[in-house]
Amino acid sequence: MKKILTLICCTIVLAATSCKKEYVTTAPSATTIFDTTPAFVLDTDPKNNIFGYTTTLSVPEITDYYNSHGAVLVYLDEDGTYEQLPDVYGGITYRFVYGKGTLYIDAQNADGSVPTSANKPGPLKLKIVLVP
């Protein structure tokens, strides 16, 4: 009985000492601030009920890595406070889509009505956060 107890204790000690701690360190997130007047273009597709403005920003920091492993967060500066997109500001709904090196921003009337030139988005200050 003493041999069995000794064997069990040795097995437990061996199993406990064979564990390996692994530390994972990640790179910090990168933040880019755009103070821009994007060229919003009217995009209408009555067949799919799409009426709004769209623009494309070149952001070379967005690589293929963020499509498969990371995240891209976009914030709109609203009078000194940042609101994460998608967001409704001033009766306009903003959303974004990104791809390698490119950020697409759509702006539509929040009530779904057809936009006019008076509803065209003005200058935007965007904060883009790339999370690895």
In a domain, 95, yes or no: yes
In a domain, 12, yes or no: no
| Structural domain span for residue 121 | 28-131
Q: What is the pLDDT of residue 97?
A: 92
CA distances (Å), 7 to each of 15, 16, 26, in order? Answer: 12, 14, 42
SS3 (DSSP) at 23: coil
Q: How far apart are CA 71 and CA 40, in angstroms?
A: 25
In a domain, 104, yes or no: yes
In a domain, 68, yes or no: yes
Per-residue confidence in pLDDT tens, the chain, 132 aa: 667 767 676 667 656 565 566 766 666 777 777 777 677 888 877 776 677 888 888 888 888 888 888 889 999 887 788 889 998 888 888 899 999 999 998 888 888 787 877 778 877 888 888 888
In a domain, 13, yes or no: no
pTM: 0.70
Number of domains present in the structure of the chain: 1
In a domain, 14, yes or no: no
